[in-house]
Structure 1
Amino acid sequence: MYETREEDIRYVILLTVNAGKQMSEALIRAHVEHLKQLDDQGKLELCGPFADYRGGMVILKGVTYDEAKAIAEADPYVSSGTESYELRTWELSTASNGHMGMG
């Protein structure tokens, strides 16, 4: 039976702009600074806005669920009430883990 390895877990923060909320340049810059800090700490895997939806996604690595939740809630977009978030645990299927023991 396959056992999930810590290195095969990512946390996905799905951000959605709340109805009636607008972005300011200062808020966007604060959000980008938050992301840069995560990148400097080696916690940021990928991030970016959606082209077809008002929101974006942040993928974290090397953190726990509780750390990922704290990171999401510390994001200026979320803490300002401009965006809400969903946090998902993503198990990677890769060659290095035998595609979760099935490959």
Structure 2
Amino acid sequence: MNRYLVMAMRLPQFDTAQIGPHRDFLDGLRDRGRLELAGGFSDKSGGAYVLRASDIDEARVLAFGDPLHLTGSSRIDVFEWQAA
């Protein structure tokens, strides 16, 4: 499995009601062994998480299931990440 960095950046229409569902989503990824690390930015502009997936397409499918993406609250970008 490869690592993918997911950037979740808040959009002007960010809905704070999606924070709980987003955290539940991350817990589900963690329970399935797909989430390595996650956290928000101190300036409240968004956050990032590191996924484990077989390829970029699978990583995008996982990340685009995030309630922040599904509700249009945040822009989700996925990058293959070769952490040192």
What TM-score, normalized by structure 2, do the two folds share? 0.88
Q: 2:15 aligns with which of 2, 23, 31?
A: 23
User: In terms of Rg, which structure is larger?
Assistant: 1
- Indicate the structure whose relative CO is greater, using CA pairs within 8 Å and at least 6 residues apart: 2
SS at match of 2:72: coil
Moved beyond 3 Å, runs of 4+: none
Residue matched to 1:78: 69
Q: What letter corresponds to residue 14 of structure 2 in structure 1?
A: Q
Deviation, 1:72, is 1.3
Provide the C-alpha distance between the structure 2 equivalents of 1:54 and 1:65, rounded to a whole number of angstroms: 24
Give the RMSD, CA atoms, in angstroms: 1.5
Give the length in aligned residue pairs. Answer: 84
Higher helix share: 1
Deviation, 1:87, is 0.9
Query: Unpaired segments of 5 or more residues in structure 2?
Result: none
Change (3 A) 1:75 1:24: same
Q: What letter corresponds to residue 15 of structure 1 in structure 2?
A: A
Deviation, 1:91, is 1.0
Do the aligned residues in 2 keep the contact of 1:31 with 1:77 (CA within 8 Å)?
Answer: yes
SS at match of 1:84: strand
Deviation, 1:73, is 0.9
Residue matched to 1:97: none
Deviation, 1:43, is 0.5
Higher strand share: 2
Provide the C-alpha distance between the structure 2 equivalents of 1:15 and 1:33, rounded to a whole number of angstroms: 15
Deviation, 1:62, is 4.1
